[in-house]
Structure 1
Amino acid sequence: MDESFAAVDDLSIMWRKLTLDEQEKCAAILPVISDQLRYEAKKVGKDLDQMIEAGDIPKNVVKSVTVDIASRYIEQSASDKSTLLSQESQSALGYSWSGTYTNTGGGISIMNKDLKRLGLNRQRYGMVDIYGLERDNS
């Protein structure tokens, strides 16, 4: 399937009413976000479309993640909110300021929390055999 996981109307319903300019951006960016999510799934050996068809992940969860990613992109690209901070700290007398921007590059940002919601980013574990592969147990 090469269709988007969400539509422009989904953003208007699940997030907020969009301006005409934002609707145009969403129409252009939603297929890109969907393809990026498919690519992220492929990198871990999964097919997102097959996962939806098999019922491994509900389609509405994928739609919700797509809407979240698109809403972050629209918020970031809005001219009046171009300085969205995810973390900020300030001091007083010695004057110091520190801040972390949500998306410094201004592109599409797929966060680890988005991948976790889709079951694509799980904690990995492994071990190292310090004795080697072949041991003589005699």
Structure 2
Amino acid sequence: MTEIEGITFATTSDLETLWRPLKFDETDRAEALLEVVSNSLRHEAQKVGKDLDVLISDNPVFASVVKSVTVDVVARTLMTSTDQEPMTQFNESALGYSVSGSFLVPGGGLFIKDSELKRLGLKKQRFGARDIYGTD
């Protein structure tokens, strides 16, 4: 492990300040998730040719945004139950028997939303054109 890999963009204290106090059994999981999410964000930045650690050291405002995104991803993952998928929406019917629902995290696991990557400047709208007529 390199020196940077062990450094997280947020702490459990930040998580409690920006989200909610952690339950006793969530603390170890939160610490592990903070490291995984921080390294996942570093990886996403590397894919587009950026170094988050350098950007953070150059701009304290950006450091706050990275901390916020890290807390959001960890909080969302902590809200996801580890033994069953929580439903965010659920419908029932009676005589015709109909049940439907939407899961909080389809497929489970850690995910970083496109909107969070956009907040970090790692995902931008692209445009381009393709010459369909050729250049002969």
TM range (shorter): 0.7 to 0.9
Show the counterpart of 1:107: 109
Shift of 1:56: 8.8
Show the counterpart of 2:58: 54
CA distance in 2, matches of 1:124, 1:98: 37
**Matched residue of 1:100: which SS?**
strand
Which entry has the higher C-alpha Rg, 1 or 2? 1
Shift of 1:62: 0.4
Q: CA RMSD in A?
A: 2.4
Runs of 4 or more above 4 Å deviation: 86-95
- Give the alignment of 1:24-63 within 5 angstroms: 24-55=28-59, 58-63=62-67
Amino acid in structure 2 at the alignment position of 1:129: D
**TM score, norm. by length of structure 1:** 0.80
**Runs of 5+ in structure 2 lacking a partner?**
none
Show the counterpart of 2:21: 17
**Runs of 5+ in structure 1 lacking a partner?**
none
1:8 alignment partner, one of 12, 16, 33: 12
Shift of 1:89: 5.7
Shift of 1:64: 0.5
Comparing 14-23 and 89-98, the one that deviates more: 89-98
